[in-house]
Amino acid sequence: MKDQLQDDLSSIRSLMERSTKFISLSGLSGVLAGIYALTGAFIAYGTVYNDYGFFGYRNFYVPNHQILQRLVTVAIMVLVASLATGVALTYRKARRNGQHIWNPASRQLLFYLAIPLLAGGLFTLILLSRGYYGIIAPAMLLFYGLSLISGSNFTYIEVRYLGISEIVLGLLAACLPGYGLIFWALGFGVLHIAYGLSMYLKYER
C-alpha cells in the first residue's frame, strides 16, 4: 500500500512538472553550442591577436573595421548555428517525450528568457557603436546569466546554476577587460559543454 501511494505521488509530481515546466531542453544542444562558441572564440582570437602571446594582457581590442566586421560575422554564425541546433534537438526530444514544443511552459520560458536577452543585445550594440569594446564580453555574460536565471523557473534547475556561473564570469571579466575573449570562451564554450553533459547524463541517457 505504501509503495503504491509513493508511485501515485511520483506520477502526480511528474504530471505537474510536465504541465508547468518545459523539460525537453536538450543537453546535447548545450554541448554543441559550447563547441561552436569555442570554435568562434578561437577564430576571433587568431583574427585579433594572431601575432601575440596567448595569455599576454590585451591593451587593445579591435584594430580596424575590417577585423570588427569579421568578428561580428563569426558571432552571428555561432549564434545561428547554436539556435538551429538547439531548436532541432529540443524538438526531437519533445517528440520522444510526447510533449509539444510549443506549449504554455515553453511560451513562459521563451518570454522570460527573451526580455534580458533583448535588453542585453541592444546594450551590446550600443557599446559596439560607441567603441566600448572592453566591456562587451562582460555585458554579454551578465545579461545572458540574468536571462537564464529569469527563465529557470520554467525548466530544469540546472539552468539557474548555469546562469549564476555566467554572472560570476561576467563580473570577473569586467575586472579584467583585457581578457574578455577568454572569459567569453569560458562562459559560452566551457560552461555550456559542462552544463550540456550534466543534463544529458542526468536526464537523457
Give the Cα separation of 9 and 16 in Å (integer): 11
Does residue 114 belong to any structural domain of this protein?
A: yes
Domain region containing 66: 28-204
Determine, yes or no, domain membership for 23: no
Residues, the chain, total? 205
Residue 143 lies in a domain: yes
For residue 41, tell me if it sits in a domain.
Answer: yes
Give the residue carrying C-alpha cell 560552461.
191
Q: Do the domain assignments include residue 8? A: no
205 three-state secondary structure = coil
Rounded to 5 degrees, φ, ψ at 52 are -125, 160
Neighbours of 57 (CB within 10 A): 10
Does residue 167 lie within any of the structural domains?
yes
pLDDT tens for the 205 residues of the chain, in order: 555 555 544 544 444 444 446 666 788 888 999 999 999 988 888 777 665 555 454 554 555 677 777 878 888 899 899 889 988 888 888 788 777 777 787 788 889 999 999 999 999 999 988 888 888 889 999 999 999 999 888 888 888 999 999 999 999 999 987 788 889 999 999 999 999 999 888 877 6
Enter the pTM of the model: 0.81
How many Å apart are CA 43 and CA 46, to the nearest integer? 5
- Residue 20 counted as domain residue: no
Q: How many domains does the chain have?
A: 1
